[in-house]
């Protein structure tokens, strides 16, 4: 079925930094509370003209409100522009319940949180959660300038009040004369440290390379936009999908996504972004040779072949069996 939505009141909008607006949402009566916020989670905002966009929550542990921050992206496909130009206090919108594919390991002895620009939103939530737990963590905040760094003052205040366990390193391109040296910023951390990063695509690619060169094992990231990929490998004759719980069999022809084939067959699978970045369409796999094209699953998760994002991934062989 299509993901159930919640009704939310746009309670407050505030300027967080140049080009970044914070949006606070409250439950619409008779609902008294939202599902609890986990650090790293995001929600879908159902905006005008059928737009659905995912934004990270910055307020872990709360149920009386949801808080997100939205960059007015010059490459916007309509979502961020709508939030900045048309969303207003007092409006009611539909939202999705929180999903979390960027989950924080709360038992880790130390965490390093790397944020690039608007990527601070899930990272700031993680910092708040680790502060509440009394864990040791370092925030590494990279932005083009200090003035463009949303939640910097809040992060500095949090570190100041937890100075024995939290620390902050900043890199602002205009002050440092160029982009950050991530290998240097991420070096010299003890074994067992967990690393997290959210930011623009080139930064995430550099982060993965730096962690690999440093030999780090516990590496996590979240992309907020899909990276270009080649077309998935689909057999010339297509492939067959068996939906074990539904008792249905669907043929997926060449050039058609699995998601679209299921919708065309009269089914209503959960979905949102159609880019493999939000996780709404994640489906359990029973068997099949999956060509993974999402931006969420780790190398280990892809090798385990336990789930797939049906909006972008496909089957390389003739038959796929899903727990659906």
Confidence class for position 46, pLDDT limits 50, 70, 90: very high
- Picking from 96, 124, 142, the residue at the C-terminal end of a domain is 96
Tell me: do 60 and 118 sit in the same domain: no
Asked if residue 200 and residue 144 are part of one domain, the reply reads yes
- Has residue 228 been placed in a domain? no
Give yes or no: residues 203 and 254 share one domain: no
Residue 102 lies in a domain: no
> In the prediction, which pLDDT does 275 show?
82
Q: How does pLDDT run across 49-96, given as a tens digit for each residue? A: 778 889 999 999 999 999 999 999 887 778 899 999 999 999 999 999
Query: How confident is the prediction for the chain on average, in pLDDT?
Result: 91
Task: For residue 175, tell me if it sits in a domain.
Answer: yes
The answer as to whether 104 is a domain residue is: no
User: How many separate domains does the chain show?
Assistant: 3
| pTM for the full predicted model | 0.83
User: Is residue 231 in a domain?
Assistant: no
CATH number of domain containing 193: 3.40.50.80
**pLDDT tens sequence across 16-41:** 999 999 999 999 988 889 999 999 99
CATH number at residue 296: 3.10.20.30
Does residue 203 share a domain with residue 114? yes
Task: Report if residue 122 sits inside a domain.
Answer: yes
pLDDT given for residue 233 in this prediction: 62
pLDDT for 3 equals 59
Q: Is the pLDDT of residue 119 over 90?
A: yes
pLDDT above 50 (res 1): no
Q: What is the DSSP string of 91-125?
A: -EEEEEPPB-SS---TT-SEEEEEEEGGGHHHHHH
Distance CA 53, CA 139 (A): 26
Tens-digit pLDDT profile for residues 183-193: 999 999 999 99
Let me know whether 142 and 246 are in one domain: no
For residue 2, is pLDDT > 80? no
Q: Are residues 125 and 209 in the same domain?
A: yes
Q: Around Cβ 110, how many Cβ atoms within 10 Å? A: 18
Q: How many CB atoms lie within 10 A of CB 230?
A: 6
Give the confidence band of 225 by pLDDT, cuts at 50, 70, 90: low
Q: The domain spanning residue 28 has which CATH number?
A: 2.40.30.10
Containing structural domain, residue 138: 110-222
Domain boundary among 193, 222, 251: 222
Question: pLDDT value at position 231?
Answer: 58
Same domain, yes or no: 135 and 202: yes
Contact 43, 55 (CB under 8 A): yes
Distances (CA, A) of 285 to 222, 282, 290: 22, 9, 9
Report which of residues 115 and 304 the model is more confident about: 115
């Amino acid at each position: 079925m299509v993901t159930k939505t919640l009704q939310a009141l746009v309670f407050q909008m505030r300027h967080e930094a140049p080009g970044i607006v914070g949006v606070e949402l409250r439950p619409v009566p008779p609902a008294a509370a939202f599902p609890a916020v986990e650090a790293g989670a995001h929600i879908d905002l159902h905006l005008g003209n059928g737009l659905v966009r995912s934004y990270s929550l910055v307020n872990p542990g709360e149920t009386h409100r949801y808080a997100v921050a939205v960059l007015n992206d010059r490459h916007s496909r309509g979502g961020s522009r709508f939030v900045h130009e048309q969303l207003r206090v007092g409006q009611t919108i539909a939202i999705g319940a929180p999903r979390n594919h960027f989950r924080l390991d709360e038992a880790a002895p130390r965490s390093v949180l790397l944020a690039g620009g608007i990527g601070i939103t899930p990272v700031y939530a993680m910092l708040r959660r680790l502060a509440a737990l009394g864990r040791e963590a370092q925030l590494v905040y990279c932005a083009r300038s200090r003035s463009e760094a949303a939640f910097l003052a809040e992060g500095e205040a949090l570190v100041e009040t937890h100075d024995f366990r939290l620390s902050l390193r900043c890199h602002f391109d205009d002050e440092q004369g160029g982009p950050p040296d991530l290998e240097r910023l991420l070096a010299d951390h003890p074994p067992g440290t967990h690393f997290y990063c959210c930011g623009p695509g080139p930064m995430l690619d550099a982060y993965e390379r730096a962690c690999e060169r440093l030999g780090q094992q516990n590496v996590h990231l979240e992309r907020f936009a899909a990276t270009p990929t080649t077309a998935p490998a689909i057999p010339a004759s297509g492939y067959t999908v068996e939906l074990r719980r539904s008792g249905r069999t669907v043929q997926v022809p060449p050039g058609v996504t699995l998601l679209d084939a299921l919708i065309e067959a009269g089914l209503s699978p959960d979905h949102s972004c159609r880019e493999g970045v939000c996780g709404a369409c994640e489906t359990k796999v029973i068997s099949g040779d999956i060509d993974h094209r999402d931006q969420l699953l780790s190398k280990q998760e892809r090798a385990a072949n336990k789930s797939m994002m049906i909006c972008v991934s496909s089957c390389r062989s003739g038959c796929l069996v899903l727990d659906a």
